[in-house]
A and B are shown apart, each in its own frame.
Chain A
């Protein structure tokens, strides 16, 4: 099922990402949608903390993909600058999307046709300057129960469900 969470600050967005980072499994793919400044990279920095990545995750707009080592590998795509889907095909995207790590993609709408059937769509929208409305929209069946996994986490319940 779909679910939506409101975060009140970039810090909260990052913490939400951290909880998600603890839940994901090898081979998972998270597709991020949201305009410039929405907080996609911020969310993913949180995920990297949840995955215990030691490096600091920065925006990969110029390199399209950055790889990090954590509990499982993190493949961070930012396809903002991609104007032709072939650029992603040339990067050998299958090895990442269907690989042994977590793939996260910023500006997923630009390469939608390449996304696997099963993935978690995450949409971040501006509410105010600091607040964000973050919607989780499972695609395929794999993430149908993700919400249930999430509410089992105490931190998550305390912070986001009142």
Chain B
């Protein structure tokens, strides 16, 4: 069983042999909160507390298994919100203790990488992984399974965070990724030349704060002059700038480290413009690109269970005094 409560989603999944998903429940997909009179609790940790048991029940019943069938329980212990992480970790510890099964603490970032192994056979090390989500933007060199080298990361905002913030400025829904992607499809991506920060600085670091400011200022100026705001063109040009930087740096890393494979992980890996562009460019270089299906890109517990399975195979169990770590890094 995998348990994930690091941010907004309460998620529990049952996975067999690290690869076969038997059930995969994410609280925002089932209407657990209807039980509470339709009130959506705003406090993340309280929401997790209210959802976690019904979500576990649902994951068990959909899988046709019982708690006593579990061979281990994997749980995200960081990075994330402390209060949210604690809910999942406490429940996982209780189950591990009661069922006398191993507890496996899993790093959320590593779990995102493992989302790829749930669906794709034929992923071979060495490879380059781009982890890109609302909280993270990192380039990682994976020399061998579970051997990570951080090549670079964002120096300010994560890519997904910038999507959310631009969406907010334009009064669009949260999260910003899906809605921006949809509107951007009908826009002209080369109409506005937004900056591509750190594109040619030779490092593998990212910086999206300057791009964010450029987009916001562009909108602000049009507003002040009472001009029509070409939302779709702005979003399309903005998305293109983000994608260009992500693709360029990832491919450069693959070339430098001579890897023939790239994996994408995290919520922003669901962005079709990113998927398409990186695949196109990589194929010219004879590099294969893997990414999880959309539902496994965003936060879920199947990826946690999968990562936990492989850790357990290496006998990497956690003790029951495992604590949450808000700012856990991959390496």
Contacts and interface: CB of A to CB of B under 8 A. Distances in A.
The 7 closest A-B pairs by CB, nearest first: A37-B213, A37-B216, A62-B135, A84-B42, A129-B217, A59-B157, A83-B42
Interface in A33-87: 35-39, 41-42, 45, 56, 58-59, 61-67, 80, 83-84, 86-87
Contacts of B215: 37
B158 A41 contact: no
A63 B81 contact: yes
A10 interface: yes
Contact of B209 (A59, A63, A126, A129): A59
A1 B133 CA distance: 43
B213 A58 contact: no
A126 B217 contact: yes
Given A36-B168, A42-B209, A66-B327, A58 B156 contact: yes
A91 B327 CA distance: 15
B217 A87 contact: no
B162 to A, nearest CB: 9
A38 B291 CA distance: 35
Interface in A119-153: 126, 129
B308 interface: no
B157 A129 contact: no
B83 interface: yes
Contacts of B165: 36-37, 61, 80
A95 interface: no
B266 interface: no
B216 to A, nearest CB: 4
